[in-house]
Structure 1
Amino acid sequence: MNKKNIALIVSGGEGKRFDKKKPKQFFKINEKTILEITVKKFVDSKLLDEIVVVCSKDYLNDTKKVLRNQNVLITLGGKTRQDSVYNGLKFCKKFKPSKIIIHDVVRPFFSVKFLNDILKKIDRKVCVIPVLKIFDSVRSIKSNNYSDINRDNLKLIQTPQGFNYNEIFNAHNRFKNLNITDDSLLAYKNGCRIKVLKGEYFNFKITEKSDLERSKIIIAKNMNNTTRTGSGFDVHKFTKGNFLILFGIKIPFDKSLEGHSDADVGFHSLVDAILGAIGKGDIGEHFPPSEKKWKNKNSLFFLEYAASILDEEKFKINNLDLTIICEKPKISKYKEKMKKKISKALNIKLNKINIKGTTTEKLGFLGREEGIACQANVTVSMKNDFDF
C-alpha cells in the first residue's frame, strides 16, 4: 500500500504549564478545539494521502470523540515528544510513504499555501524547516549573570516540517535514546541537509492561556468580512398523490407536488439562492428540465452539487433563512427534521438554519391551496486560513 504524502500530527503532550486538568489541544477557539482546527485544516487541504494523529493513551477516547467526523487515523504516543513521533513513524511504515509532514497540533494558524510549499521542496536528503528571525535582543540570565547573546545566527523553529520518510525514520531509529524536541535536529545529525523556509508570523505555538486571547485577536483581524447574499424562489402545483417532499423530508398528505424531478420546492429554492450568492446562475441552467436524466431525481443531489460548487469557489455559508408558503400541510412539526437534513447536506451547524412557515391569508393560488411556494435567502463569505 503506497501512500505518497502523509501528515503526522503530534497531539501527545499534556501541557501542564497550560492547564493542570486538561491538555491545551482540547481548549476551544471559536467553539472548536485546537485539535479539531488543526486536523481539519490538513484534511481540507487535500494535499495528503493519509493523516495520522498521535495522542496520549490517557486522552485516546477524547481524541476519538473530537475527531469522529474526520477521515484520520489515530495511534498512541510515548512518554516524550520524540517517543511519540517515533511511534507515529512506525505506525506509518505500512503505507510506504515517500514524504511526511510532522506538525505540532498546537500550531493551528499555518496556511495551506505554506504546507504546499513545504511538500514541494522535500527531497531525499533534504528536509524543509520553517524558521523565523529573532529581532528582539537576547540575554542569558542565570543567578547574578546577565550577558548578551548574539542573535545573528539564532532562529525560531516552527512546524510543519517536511521530510523524506525513510530519512527521518532512520534518524529517529538511530537516535531513539536521545531526548530532542525538534525532528529537524535528528535529521541533521543523520546526514540530512536542512533547507530553511521563511516561517509564518501567525504560526505561533499555543503554550499559555494568554495565547488563546491572542488567537482570538488574530482571527478577528484576519476574517474576511465581505458578505454576499443570494435569494431563491420556487413554486410547484399540487397533483394527485398521498405525500410530498419538502427539504428532503417525506410528508404524508392528500396531494403530491408536480415537477420534473421530485418537486422538492424547498431544496430547489435553496439551490437557486446558493448559486445566486456566488454568481453561478440558477438550477435550470445546471439541471435543464428538458433533459430526461433529471426526471424524478432526488433533489438532495442538486443541493449537494450546489454545496460542491460553493466549496470549489472557497465560500462558506453564514446563514440560511427559508420560508415555506402554503395553507396546507402544516410544517411546524417537520422543521427540525428539515434543518437536520440541510445541516448534513451542507455541513453547517443547525444554528445557521432558520425555517419559517406562513400563508397568504387565503389570497391567490397559494391561498386557494393550488400549490406550495418557498423563498430562500442565504448569506455567504469567502473562506480563509482563519475560518474555523
Structure 2
Amino acid sequence: MPKSKRTAAIIVAAGRGLRAGAGGPKQFRSIGGQTVLSRAMSPFCTHPQIVAVQPVRNRDDADIFPQAAGDLTYQPPVDGGATRQISVRAGLEALVAQAPDIVLIHDAARAFVTEAVISRAIDAALVTGAAIPVIPVTDTVKLVSETGSVEATPSRAHLRIAQTPQAFRFDAILEAHRRAAQEGRDDFTDDSALAEWAGLTVATFEGDVANMKLTTPEDFAREEARLGAMLGDIRTGTGYDVHALTDGDHLMLCGVRVPFNRGFLAHSDGDVGLHAIVDAILGALADGDIGSHFPPSDPKWKGAASDQFLAYAVDLVKSRGGRIAHLEVTMICEAPKIGPLREAMRARIVEITGVPLSRVAVKATTSERLGFTGRQEGIAATASATIGLPWDVNGGSN
C-alpha cells in the first residue's frame, strides 16, 4: 500500500447551512451529544497518515469555533469566503508553507467519515493524483425539462454520487484553484468539477453510504435516531455532595459564581452541584467516584475549578462511545435562593457538557430549617445522570 508522510486535510466549515433550519450554522449543532464539526474533524486529526488538519471557518464564527472543535489538534483556522470554492482556496493557500504531497478536502457537514475512507482517499491520490469517493445510485434518475416533463432516463450503471474527502496532489489542485480564480470561475460545486475543468483526470474509489451530508432538519432527525438506536445500554447514576460553609464572599454553585456572605470549606472550589453531577456520571459508568479520580489529598486540586471535573466525566462517556441523555441536579439549601439563578446554572452546565438545554434540569429545595442545611451550616446537592453506551458483541457495553 503506498504511503505518504506529507498528507494534509482541509475541513471546509465556513457555510451557513440555511437549509438545515433554525439553530445556527449546522456544523456547530449537536448530534448524538457531539458537534457536527468535531465529528467531522476527529477522524482526520487522529489519522496516522495526516500531518496537518486545516479548518476553514466563517470569520463570524471565530468565537464559537474552538468550543465546537473541542480538544482536537489542528492548524489555526483561516477565514473562508462567500463560496465554497473561495473557502477551499483559502485553506490551500494556508498550507503552502508546509507543502504537503497530498491534500484531502472534506465538508464539515459530513460528520460520519471513517478512518477507512480517509485511508482509501490517500492511497487513491498517491496512485492517480486526483480521486473522489463515490457510491452507486440506487434510485432511477430522470432528466427533467424546465416544464417538468421527463426528457431522458440515464442508465444507473454509469451514475455515482460523489462524496468527500476528495483527494489530490497538492500542487495540482492548488494550481487549478488559482487558475480558476484568475479566470473568474467561481461556480464549481465541488473540487473534482474544478479539477476536471483544469484538465485533471479524476479517479474514483469506494465511498461509504454512512458518509452522508447533513443538509435538512430531516437529516438531523434521522441521524439522531440512528445514533440513539446504537446506544442500547441505558444507564442511570446518582450523585450526592455536601460542603460546610465558612467565611467568604461568594459560592460556586453549578458553575456560577454567586455573591454571598459565606464561602465553602472545601479542597477545590466546593461546587456541590457540579460535584454531584460528576458523581452521577461516574456512577452510570460504574467508574468510581469523584474522590477516586480527583483525590482531595492531592495538592494539585486545591482551589481547582469544578468545571474541569465535569468536563473530564463527560470525556469519559465520549471515550466509551456513549452520550449523555439527561442531567438533573437538586440544590438543598435555605440560602441563597436558587430560583433566580436557575437558568444561568442550566446554561453553564450546557456550556461545560454540550448536553442540550432541554436535557438539563436544575431544581432546589429547603430542608424546612431542619438539619445542617436548615441551620445554614452547609449546602448539599443530589444529582442523576442518564447515559447511553453502545452494546458490544458479547451483549455487554463497552
1:10–1:102 CA contact under 8 A, matched in 2: no
**Residues 109-124 of structure 1 mapped to structure 2, 5 A cutoff:** 110-113=112-115, 116-118=118-120, 120-121=122-123, 123-124=125-126
Of residues 57, 65, 71, the one that matches 1:70 is 65
Could you list the per-position Cα deviations for residues 75-119 of structure 1 after superposition, in whole angstroms to 9, with x for gaps in the alignment?
Answer: 2256xx6666456534543453443222456x5454344554445
Q: Secondary structure at the match of 2:270?
A: coil
Distance in structure 1 (CA, Å) of the matches to 2:21 and 2:120: 26
* AA aligned opposite 1:161: Q
Q: Tell me what 1:183 maps to.
A: 191
In structure 1, what residue type is equivalent to 2:363?
K
1:356 partnered with 2:359: no
CA distance in 1, matches of 2:180, 2:300: 62
What CA deviation, in whole Å up to 9, does each residue of 1:293-336 have, x standing for no partner? 33333333322322332332333333221111122333333334
CA separation of 1:64/1:223 partners in 2, compared to 1, >3 Å: closer, same or farther? farther
- The offset of 1:7, in angstroms, is 1.3
**Structure 2 stretches lacking a partner, 5+ long:** 30-35, 67-76, 391-398
Instruction: Find the counterpart in structure 1 of residue 8 from structure 2.
Output: 5
- The answer to whether the aligner puts 1:200 opposite 2:191 as a matched pair is no
Contact 1:244 1:257 in 2 (8 A): yes
User: Where does 1:191-270 land on structure 2 (aligned, <5 Å)?
Assistant: 194-200=203-209, 203=212, 206=215, 212-213=217-218, 216-217=221-222, 219-224=224-229, 226=232, 227-270=234-277
Deviation at 1:216, TM superposition (A): 3.4
Which one of 4, 8, 19 corresponds to residue 27 of structure 1? Answer: 19
Contact in 1 for aligned 2:125/2:167 (Cα 8 Å): no
Residue 15 of structure 1 aligns with which residue?
A: none
CA spacing shift, 1:128–1:110, aligned 2, 3 Å: farther
CA contact (8 A) 2:333 2:365 kept: yes
How far apart, in 1, do the equivalents of 2:321 and 2:333 lie? 35
Measure how far apart 1:10 and its partner are.
Answer: 7.7
Given that 2:237 and 2:282 are in contact with CA atoms closer than 8 Å, whether structure 1 keeps it comes out as yes
C-alpha distance in 2, partners of 1:294/1:11?
A: 39
AA aligned opposite 1:304: A
The question of whether the paired residues in 1 share the 8 Å contact of 2:250 and 2:258 is answered with: yes
Residue 159 of structure 1 pairs with residue 161 of structure 2: no
Q: Which moved more, 1:299-308 or 1:114-123?
A: 114-123
Code of the aligned partner of 1:183: D
Asked if structure 1 preserves the Cα contact closer than 8 Å seen for 2:325 and 2:388, the reply is yes
Deviation at 1:5, TM superposition (A): 2.0
TM-score, normalising length: structure 1 = 0.73
Structure 2 CA distance, aligned partners of 1:200 and 1:311? 24
Deviation at 1:123, TM superposition (A): 4.5
Q: Is the 8 A contact 1:8 1:100 kept in 2?
A: no
Query: Residues 3 and 298 (structure 1 numbering): CA distance in 2 closer, same or farther, change over 3 Å?
Result: farther
Alpha carbons 1:128, 1:163 under 8 Å: kept? yes
Distance 1:121 1:155 in 2: 20
Question: How much does 1:351 deviate?
Answer: 3.9
Q: 1:184 touches 1:194 (CA, 8 Å); kept in 2?
A: no
Q: Mean alpha-carbon deviation: is it higher for 313-322 or for 121-130? A: 121-130
SS in 2 for 1:152: helix
- Which residue number corresponds to residue 42 of structure 1? 40
Residue 56 of structure 2 aligns to which amino acid in structure 1? V
Change (3 A) 1:10 1:357: closer
CA distance in structure 2 between the aligned counterparts of 1:297 and 1:82, rounded to whole angstroms: 46
Match of 2:280 among 265, 270, 273: 273
**Inter-partner Cα distance in structure 2 for 1:320 and 1:90:** 44
What amino acid is the match of 2:25?
A: T
* Number of residue pairs matched by the alignment: 356
Structure 2 residue 135 is the aligned partner of structure 1 residue 102: no
Give the stretch that moved more between structures: 83-92 or 364-373.
83-92
Amino acid at match of 1:246: L
Match of 1:342 among 326, 349, 365: 349
Q: What percent of counterpart residues are identical?
A: 31
1:313 aligns to 2:320 (yes or no): yes
- 1:17 maps to none
The structure-2 alpha-carbon separation of the partners of 1:307 and 1:199, relative to structure 1 and needing over 3 Å to count, comes to closer
Q: Which runs of 5+ in 1 are unaligned?
A: 13-22, 55-62, 384-388
48, 53, 56: which one pairs with 2:56? 53
Computing the radius of gyration from Cα coordinates, the structure with the larger value is 1
Q: Give the distance between the partners of 2:344 and 2:169, measured in 1 at CA.
A: 49
**Higher alpha-carbon deviation: 297-306 or 266-275:** 297-306
- Aligned residue identity for 2:206: L
Mapped partners of 2:280, 2:384: distance in 1: 6
TM-score (norm 2): 0.71
Secondary structure class of the residue paired with 2:65? coil
Q: 1:157 to 1:244 in 2, by over 3 A?
A: closer
Residue by residue over 1:111-136, the C-alpha shift from the partner in whole angstroms, topping out at 9 and shown as x without a partner, is 34455444553544434421122344
